[in-house]
Amino acid sequence: MPRHFHPIRLEIFKSLFHSVAEEMGAGLRRSAFSPNITERRDYSCAVFDAQRNVLAMGDHMPVHLGSMPASVIAATNAFNLQPGDAVLLNDPYAGGTHLPDLTLVMPVFPAQTKRGKPLFYVANRAHHADIGGAQAGSMGLSREIFQEGLRIPPVKILEQGRVNRDVLNMLLANVRTPKEREGDLTAQIAACRIGERRLQSMLTKYGWKELSHYAQELLNYSEAMMRTVIRSLPNGTYRAEDFLDNDGITETPLRIAAKIEIGGDRAVVDFTGSSPECAGSVNAVRAIAESAVFYVFRCLLNDQIPATSGLMRPFKVITPEGTIVNARPPRAVAGGNVETSQRIVDALLKALSKAVPQKIPAASQGTMNNVTFGGTDTRPGRGDKPFAYYETIAGGMGARPDRDGVSAIHTHMTNSLNTPIEVLEHTLPIRMRQYSVRKNSGGKGKFRGGDGIIREFEMLTEMEVGQLSDRRKRGPYGLAGGSPGKPGRNAVKSGPHMQQILAKGHARLKKGNILRIESPGGGGWGKPKKR
Amino acid sequence: MRIAIDTGGTFTDCVYAHNGRIEILKVPSTPHNPAQAIASALMAISRRVAPQSIAPLDLVCGTTVGTNALLQRRGGRVVLITTAGFEDVLEIGRQARPKLYDFFGGRPAPLVPRERRLGLRERIGSEGEILAQPAQKEIRTLIRQVRHAKPDAVAICFLFSFVNPIHEKQIAKALRAAGHVVTASHEVFPEIREFERTCTTVVNAYLIPVMSGYLAAIEEIAQRVVRSAPVPKPDRRQRNAQSQVRVMQSNGGIVFARSAASEPVRTILSGPAGGILGAEYVANLAGYEKIISFDMGGTSTDVALLEGGAGTTNESVVDDLPVSVPMLDIHTVGAGGGSIARIDQGGALRVGPESAGADPGPAAYGKGNQPTVTDAHLILGRLGGAALLGGEFQLDAARARQILDRARKKSPSLRSPEQFAQGTIDVIEATMERAIRVISVERGHDPRDYALVAFGGAGGLHACALAAALEMPRVLIPQIPGALSALGILRADIVKDFSQTVLLRAPTTPPAFRLLQDAFKNLESHSRDQMRAESQVAPASPPASYEENSTQRQPSPTDHTSSQIRAFRSLDLRYTGQSTTLKIPASKDFQKAFHKEHEQRYGYADPTREIEIVNICVRLIGRTPKPSRPRSRSHRRDARPAIVSQGKVYFHGKWTASPMYARSQLQAGNQFSGPAIVTDYSSTSVVLPGWHANVDAYQNIILTRRKN
């Protein structure tokens, strides 16, 4: 029986827990149905201990890290979970982030157990291409969460191993592409079961005492690693702010204010002074701000650390209620997860650049350029099939203190892939006209910001198209005298005319219209003269 | 005479059959010019055997020339031609970053820079319809631009060329007429996903100059060896003509050198593929059909699961570049004898993926300053002494111990260098155990049903522990663990893979079935045309996950060769909407088989859902003659004559007296129990306490767990 911390066992269990999360992810990706999960990998899988701490999370989406535990807490607060149960939820105000992210939580008991207290939990979250609401793709501009889609508090989707058809039918009746949703949910359940089986066989092999001991050591280990990172920063208070262009309803820029206090191996991150929650949909829930803090500090460590809840222990994160970083119901939140999260990172990095300038890159594109398409495929022979599709577009990475930023790459809180053009055209009434690097859009400097992307979609049938993007007015900042990257641009071409359109909004596009997105370039680093 | 050669980082291994025996020769590799080692090996062989038996020479090579050129970015100057507007697909890739939490990371620079990526205004739609035809004038301009760029090779990849290659064919023809070396994407990899296809095509073009130079050198060497053999004049011309050079591909089959020179992308995992075939062969001789191969070298470990043949994958990634041609499904982890052990800032003992490699090498080699897995084995007494390679190489145990001791002091709970060494071995074994789980448990296979075949320099050191951890009942350590890859290459068949993306709904009506049959027929006749060049073949047995096409068994009177080449058809299937596919033999009830496989792999199946056929695949196999290995008739149980010394070995926290056996002196029928160490010229094996060893009639060591 282990009584103390053992470096060898620790290393072995670290990898074991991590591989459970990775394996769940591989199963989900391979057996799900919508391109956003299978091709773009917009999902996360994680393993939790009985106290609902994250023990391992696959290398999927950083934005989900801080917010996955909230889902497990919400699920377990709602139900006394028993073997064979699983909980589904998406309510941003009860453990979710934004409505399209459907999270499944499953308790894990030793094999053959009939009832008792869960020893572990597994969870996965996947971004569904549509969850109902006013606009296809459920990412459009809204003023209330009720317009954004179906809001699902924790519900038992599985009970004693059987799918709760009532709940499922209710959900499927409220979405545009029910068959695809059902398939993706089935894959999410199967992925949870993979995690369950792996943990059960670990329980058989190592026993509960040893597993739980090392689960706790793993949390301590991540904490210790994070403390070494904080200790390496000079003590002091570092402040910065950055802005979102607007909320899509009014033109007012929205402030993210960040104050980082480093004291020994502890840090306080205070977002007091950030803008009040807004009328549009770029409100973030608190968990998103926590994810951003976690992400930024984790990147400062030049080594791999397991993504566990232990990483958060050295931090105190202050997010005043009713601000854009801790919104209250019934505010709309679709963009908080994808846009505001990026700006929080930008503000944190700007603050840290004052502490450790040689370790901090200039601002990256700072948006995910979310685009949604939805409607009915009216082309001959397609049977008027309904479709809904969502994607994000990469952009320029900020220049680093010793090298240029990378062009056309996803940065910070997301890392989703593109949908191959050939897959996209095979499945949807869309034809791609251009997909290229947006030359010279990166900020100038001793080191240049990476370039953004140009992506053009031609509509082959009439459809609803939604935009949710930022950094359209002010480009991503440069550092140490580097210039900002070029802001992004969204436009529609119809025939010979090209018209700029709003960065946050939706439109009904006609057959033959072309949507053109130019994503922002990254900021430069250092004075251009020194290049 | 057939000679197989496997070029490794340290040694070039040769295996050949002579007078009914299989002979092995090892010569030092010459990394700057790998052909040089091959030349000296052939010279040495021609001195060993009767000179006249060399010709006609049938030389089969496993090669890392392509892989190394790719890893070191020493390929040719390539021009890439794409659909206009999509010149940057190669650079953008899948738009994701390889490392999630790293401000200073990035992705490797594209193999073709922006200024050599040219767009042509043309467009094919998703159903193969021509949306825009290239204008003659623009083609002429393009050809001028290409000439200007002075490329070694040109890659062409247009959108949807896998459905309709008309424009790729047109441009390839024009460029070839202008004297360029061309790879068009529909020729190497006619499958969906433009980035993966473009990248595969570019890698191919990139490697052509390197590979064709290398293979020309080998052909030249082969000719020289044959010419120097004393053969009566009238026969000479014929014998020279019959000599041939062939190359091992990543799919586990061989092709002629000229074919490999034009499709070098298919040879990237040539060496490891040979190892898999070798493992399969020795395991089959010993009577095992279901095996997991475990090949552990200095910097990495390859594992693969074989069940009546090795499976293939087309999702391989080499140095962050997708290389999507079929390769044997080998899972590689960065864990080997040279992996470095350290206590990290959080107090965990980490091993690898950083490796001391061959230079500086482990601390015991005298240069390295960091403890490695090899050092750990050495100070625990598991290497059977302080010499390697039959005494040619001395190890510095004191130095290894000192460096391990320094490293362990970073953790208060490790009290001795032995504890650190044991921990290093435990951690690396956990890494390898996970690698085996990935290819077995995670894909619905129970490792308890499989035998572990361990080889490579370090495979035998960890085999027992791994088998114990995975509850595998037996381990096989082949007679020539250090040259198994060459043995596999010696026995390889000719294998050519062809595929075509079709994106068809799985047929439910007779006309739809006929459509599928027609598509297969077309692909197969195209494949056979290509294969015809590869002659000298005999019937083969079917590989895993392929269905033999019975309609082709009867030789057609007009085509002699096709009767000796067997075709196997398979389908890449998924539920409509999914992204990745499962490969299923193209039998009549393939749909049922798909549901079953889906259930096994992912935990659910839905027979009400529509199945989509993504690719149809044809594999042609031409069987080559194979030398057989003699069975030994020896039945001596007593293994004591093979004991060369007694040593002390550290097992489970204490030093235990343990005999050291010389592998070369073990005979068929010998039996002994662990603890024991078995040393060989280039490898060492550990028989753990509680394990029993038995030398079989083919000189393999079979290890089984003793029942309590």
Residues B493-529 pLDDT 10s: 888 889 988 888 888 788 888 889 999 999 999 888 8
Q: Which of A61, A86, A133 is nearest to A415 (CA)?
A: A61
Residues whose CB is less than 8 angstroms from the CB of residue A49 and which lie 6 or more positions away in sequence, other chains included? A55, A120, A121, A212, A215, A216, A219
Which residues of B are less than 8 Å from A30 in CB distance? Answer: 578-580, 601-602
| Integer Cα distance of A454 and A432 in angstroms | 11
**pLDDT over 60 (residue A498):** yes
Which residues of B are less than 8 Å from A435 in CB distance? Answer: 85-86, 88-89, 92
Q: Which of B157, B179, B205 is the last residue of a domain?
A: B205
Q: Is the peptide bond before B447 cis (omega within 30 degrees of 0)?
A: no
Q: Which of B190, B205, B220 is the last residue of a domain?
A: B205
Residue B97's pLDDT band, with cuts at 50, 70 and 90, is very high
Q: Are residues A189 and A157 in contact, defined by beta-carbon separation less than 8 angstroms?
A: yes
Exposed/middle/buried for B302, CB within 10 Å: 0-12, 13-18, 19+?
buried
pLDDT in tens, B30-75: 888 889 999 999 988 988 887 777 878 889 999 888 888 888 889 9
Task: Count CA atoms closer than 13 A to B335's CA, side-chain side.
Answer: 25
Helix (H) or strand (E) holding B567: strand B566-575
Of A35, A59, A361, Cβ closest to residue B579 = A35
Q: Are residues B479 and B391 in the same domain?
A: yes
Q: Are residues B513 and B566 in the same domain?
A: yes
Q: Are residues A519 and A373 in the same domain?
A: yes
Q: Name the domain count of chain B.
A: 4
Other CB atoms within a 10 A radius of the CB of residue B169 amount to 15
Q: Is the peptide bond before B507 cis (omega within 30 degrees of 0)?
A: no
| Integer Cα distance of A30 and B691 in angstroms | 40
| Integer Cα distance of B506 and B489 in angstroms | 38
Between chains, do A417 and B347 touch, taking CB under 8 Å as contact?
no
pLDDT score at B559: 34
Per DSSP, what are the bridge partners of residue B452? Answer: B292, B475
Torsion of CA B236, B242, B243, B248, to 10 degrees: 180
| Integer Cα distance of B394 and A367 in angstroms | 59
Q: By CA distance, what is A23's nearest residue in B? A: B442
pLDDT score at B547: 56
Q: Is the peptide bond before A330 cis (omega within 30 degrees of 0)?
A: yes
Instruction: Please tell me the total number of residues recorded for chain B in this structure.
Output: 708
Q: Which of A171, A192, A223 is the last residue of a domain?
A: A223
Residues whose CB is less than 8 angstroms from the CB of residue A251 and which lie 6 or more positions away in sequence, other chains included? none
Q: Which of A295-309, B174-188, B194-208, B412-426 has the lowest mean pLDDT?
A: A295-309
| Integer Cα distance of A141 and A134 in angstroms | 9
Beta pairing, strands A504-509 & B2-7: unpaired
pLDDT in tens, B517-564: 999 999 999 888 887 755 544 334 444 455 555 433 333 333 334 447
In degrees, rounded to 5, the angle at the alpha carbon of residue B201 between the alpha carbons of residues B197 and B207 is: 145
Domain membership flag for residue A64: yes
Secondary structure letter of residue A312 according to DSSP: G
Domain membership flag for residue A296: no
Which residues of B are less than 8 Å from A189 in CB distance? Answer: 604
Domain membership flag for residue B196: yes
Domain membership flag for residue B135: yes
Q: Are residues B410 and B480 in the same domain?
A: yes
Domain that holds residue A510: 361-531
Mean predicted confidence (pLDDT) in B147-158: 97
Q: Which of B221, B246, B267 is the last residue of a domain?
A: B267
Of B103, B192, B580, Cβ closest to residue A299 = B103
Residues whose CB is less than 8 angstroms from the CB of residue A404 and which lie 6 or more positions away in sequence, other chains included? A442, A447, A448, A449, A450
Domain membership flag for residue B273: no
**pLDDT over 70 (residue B285):** yes
pLDDT in tens, A62-105: 888 788 999 999 999 999 999 999 999 999 998 899 999 999 99
Domain that holds residue B481: 280-489+628-708
Domain membership flag for residue A460: yes
pLDDT score at B239: 59
Nearest chain B Cα distance for residue A295, angstroms: 7
Of B87, B91, B423, Cβ closest to residue A7 = B423
Domain membership flag for residue B411: yes
* Cβ density class B312-332: b for 16+ within 10 Å, e for less: bebebebeebbbbbbbbbbbb
Is this prediction's ipTM beyond 0.90?
yes
Domain membership flag for residue A61: yes
Q: What is the overall mean pLDDT for chain A? A: 94
Q: How far is CA B282 from the centre of its chain?
A: 17
Q: Are residues B505 and B618 in the same domain?
A: yes
End-to-end Cα spacing for chain A: 60
pLDDT score at B198: 98
Best of B83, B87, B94, B582 to mutate (most A CBs within 10 Å, chain A): B94
Q: Are residues B400 and B481 in the same domain?
A: yes
Between chains, do B426 and A222 touch, taking CB under 8 Å as contact?
no
| Integer Cα distance of B251 and B546 in angstroms | 14
| Integer Cα distance of B242 and B422 in angstroms | 55
Q: Are residues A373 and A465 in contact, defined by beta-carbon separation less than 8 angstroms?
A: yes
Domain membership flag for residue A24: yes
Q: Which of A173, A197, A223 is the last residue of a domain?
A: A223
Q: By CA distance, what is A292's nearest residue in B? A: B101
Q: Are residues B165 and B191 in contact, defined by beta-carbon separation less than 8 angstroms?
A: no
Instruction: Please tell me the total number of residues recorded for chain A in this structure.
Output: 531
| Integer Cα distance of A212 and A163 in angstroms | 30
**pLDDT over 90 (residue B158):** yes
pLDDT score at B438: 86
Helix (H) or strand (E) holding B410: none
Between chains, do A39 and B423 touch, taking CB under 8 Å as contact?
no
Between chains, do B411 and A7 touch, taking CB under 8 Å as contact?
yes
Q: Are residues B175 and B224 in the same domain?
A: no
Domain membership flag for residue B551: yes
Q: By CA distance, what is B107's nearest residue in A? A: A406
**pLDDT over 70 (residue B2):** yes
Q: Are residues B646 and B563 in the same domain?
A: no
Of B195, B350, B442, Cβ closest to residue A11 = B350
Q: Name the domain count of chain A.
A: 2
Q: Which residue has the higher pLDDT, B67 or A44?
A: A44
Q: Are residues B330 and B461 in the same domain?
A: yes
| Integer Cα distance of B512 and B518 in angstroms | 10
Which residues of B are less than 8 Å from A33 in CB distance? Answer: 575, 577-578
Report residue A388 as tokens: 């809904």
**pLDDT over 60 (residue B203):** yes
Which residues of A are less than 8 Å from B350 in CB distance? Answer: 11
Domain membership flag for residue B181: yes
Residue A279's pLDDT band, with cuts at 50, 70 and 90, is very high
pLDDT score at B387: 59
Integer angstrom CA distances of residue A131 from A148, A150, A175, A177, A188: 8, 6, 5, 9, 16
pLDDT score at B562: 45
Place of tokens 């739980």: A212
Q: How far is CA B16 from the centre of its chain?
A: 20
The pTM of this model reads 0.91
Residues whose CB is less than 8 angstroms from the CB of residue B226 and which lie 6 or more positions away in sequence, other chains included? B54, B55, B56, B57, B239, B240, B243
Q: By CA distance, what is A452's nearest residue in B? A: B92
* Cβ density class B602-633: b for 16+ within 10 Å, e for less: bbebeeebebbbbbbbbbbbbbbeeeebeeee
Dihedral of alpha carbons A426, A430, A436, A441, sign: negative
Report residue B599 as tokens: 């259930």
Domain membership flag for residue A231: no
The size of the A-B interface in CB pairs under 8 A is 199
Between chains, do A19 and B434 touch, taking CB under 8 Å as contact?
yes
Instruction: Give the percent of chain B with pLDDT over 70.
Output: 92
Domain membership flag for residue B274: no
Q: Are residues B98 and B63 in the same domain?
A: no
Q: Which of A200, A223, A246 is the last residue of a domain?
A: A223
Q: Which of B205, B196, B214 is nearest to B175 (CA)?
A: B205
Q: Are residues B216 and B189 in contact, defined by beta-carbon separation less than 8 angstroms?
A: no
Per DSSP, what are the bridge partners of residue B255? Answer: B247
Q: Are residues B520 and B388 in the same domain?
A: no
Q: Are residues B325 and B374 in the same domain?
A: yes
| Integer Cα distance of A416 and A25 in angstroms | 13
Helix (H) or strand (E) holding A214: helix A208-231
Residue by residue, DSSP assigns B175-228 as HHHTT--EEEHHHH---S-HHHHHHHHHHHHHHHHHHHHHHHHHHHHHHHHHHH
Domain membership flag for residue A41: yes
Report residue A324 as tokens: 């854009």
pLDDT score at B259: 87
pLDDT score at B680: 85
- The sheet that has A101-108: what strands, in order across it? A54-57, A43-49, A120-127, A101-108, A86-89, A155-159, A162-163
Q: By CA distance, what is A392's nearest residue in B? A: B95
| Integer Cα distance of B414 and A8 in angstroms | 10
Q: Where are the alpha helices (DSSP H) in A54-128?
A: 68-78
Of A194, A422, A456, Cβ closest to residue B160 = A422
Report residue B100 as tokens: 């999630």
Q: What is the overall mean pLDDT for chain B? A: 87
Q: Which of B424, B366, B338 is nearest to B650 (CA)?
A: B424
**pLDDT over 90 (residue B231):** no
Q: By CA distance, what is A27's nearest residue in B? A: B602
Domain membership flag for residue B272: no
Domain membership flag for residue A270: no
